[in-house]
Copies of this chain bind each other. A is one copy, B any other.
Amino acid sequence: MPKPPAFDLDSFLPYRLSVVAQRLSDNLARHYRAEFGISTPEWRILAHLAQSDGVSVRDIEQRIDMEKSKASRAASKLVAKGLVTKTANADDRRLLHLTLTPKGQTLLAALLPRAEAFQADLRKALGADADALMRALDNILKIDTP
């Protein structure tokens, strides 16, 4: 009857990372939902559209690490809320253009400064470790996605 070796889950990086990420996302999600009525996947798509408007579902899938079915459904909800429109790409009619409506732009104009402020506060609190954190995250992705 082998005895399991000592193990400290709290210092296990994947676990720790997951807990912190989850907490942070959930807390933000509460704000998005309460003030703007959108979910995390919806917020991520909007944020990506702020950066590059007119992209396809496929672009979203590749650029922001979101399953295409998830992206498709979130996009449909954004359309239903009047924040985004879907139009067919003229050159390749398999592709879609997701475009911010004026209402979507207004929402982003209110939301993005808050996101920036949140991030600024966070960086300030982390001090010198903030850059190391970003570097570490990049490296983990490189290692883990061979």
Contacts and interface: CB of A to CB of B under 8 A. Distances in A.
Interface of A: 1-9, 11-25, 27-28, 44, 47-48, 50-51, 64-65, 100, 102, 105-106, 108-109, 112-113, 115-116, 118-119, 122-123, 125-126, 128-130, 132-137, 139-141, 143-145
A6 B112 CA distance: 9
A32 B144 CA distance: 16
A22 B21 contact: yes
Nearest to A45: B9
B48 A140 contact: no
A28 B7 contact: no
A57 to B, nearest CB: 16
A130 to B, nearest CB: 7
Contacts of A5: 50, 109, 112-113, 116
Contacts of A132: 128-129, 132-133, 136
Contacts of A47: 7, 9, 12, 15
B129 A51 contact: no
A1 B102 contact: yes
A53 to B, nearest CB: 9
Contact of A4 (B108, B126, B144): B108
Nearest to A118: B14
Nearest to A107: B4
Given A9-B44, A109-B2, A20 B20 contact: no
